[in-house]
């Protein structure tokens, strides 16, 4: 009975492995569902647009010696980016996920206000 159980488990694991190897060749970062990935939130200083698809942001709390981070604009953000009136040196709050190509894809971006308090 132990041998039968082991054979059954081996067959079951083989079927599971076969199913998990299926990959839709049409799936890319644009069809990726961000709800399936962990959404991260950060703030930083917007440095500029690399091109129509990517922007650079210096994330808050990261040492100045480190390079700024490059983020990909999701299709929704790309369509509305010009209307957001974000200019270099603006502080922004971003929501993003990391896609299967290890790219940071922004799903939400907005200007962020920084409050400076003085200690007297």
C-alpha separations of 35 from 60, 70, 82, 100, 120 in Å: 25, 21, 25, 13, 45
**How far apart, in whole angstroms, are the C-alpha atoms of residue 82 and residue 73?**
12
Residue written as token pair 């569902």: 33
* 46-91 pLDDT tens trace: 999 999 999 999 999 999 899 999 999 999 999 999 899 999 999 9
Prediction pTM value: 0.65
- Hey, CA dihedral for 55, 59, 60, 62, is it positive or negative? negative
CA atoms within 13 A on the CB side of 89: 0
Confidence of residue 24 (pLDDT cuts 50, 70, 90): very low
Cα angle, residue 85 at apex, residues 34 and 75 outer, rounded to 5°: 25
Q: Which domains does the chain have, with CATH numbers?
A: 37-111 (2.40.50.140)
3-state secondary structure 66-93: CCCEEEEECHHHHHHHHHHCCCCCCEEE
pLDDT of residue 92: 97
């Amino acid at each position: 009975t132990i041998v039968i159980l082991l054979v059954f488990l081996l067959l079951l694991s083989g079927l599971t492995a076969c199913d998990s190897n299926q990959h839709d060749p049409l799936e890319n970062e644009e069809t990726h569902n961000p709800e399936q990935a962990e959404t991260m939130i950060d703030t930083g200083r917007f440095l500029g647009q690399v091109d129509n698809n990517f922007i650079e942001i210096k994330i808050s709390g990261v040492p100045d010696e480190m390079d700024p981070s490059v983020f990909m604009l999701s299709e929704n953000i790309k369509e509305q980016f010009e209307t957001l009136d974000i200019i270099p040196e603006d502080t922004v709050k971003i929501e993003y996920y990391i896609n299967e190509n290890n790219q940071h894809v922004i799903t939400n971006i907005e200007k962020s206000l920084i409050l400076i308090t003085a200690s007297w």
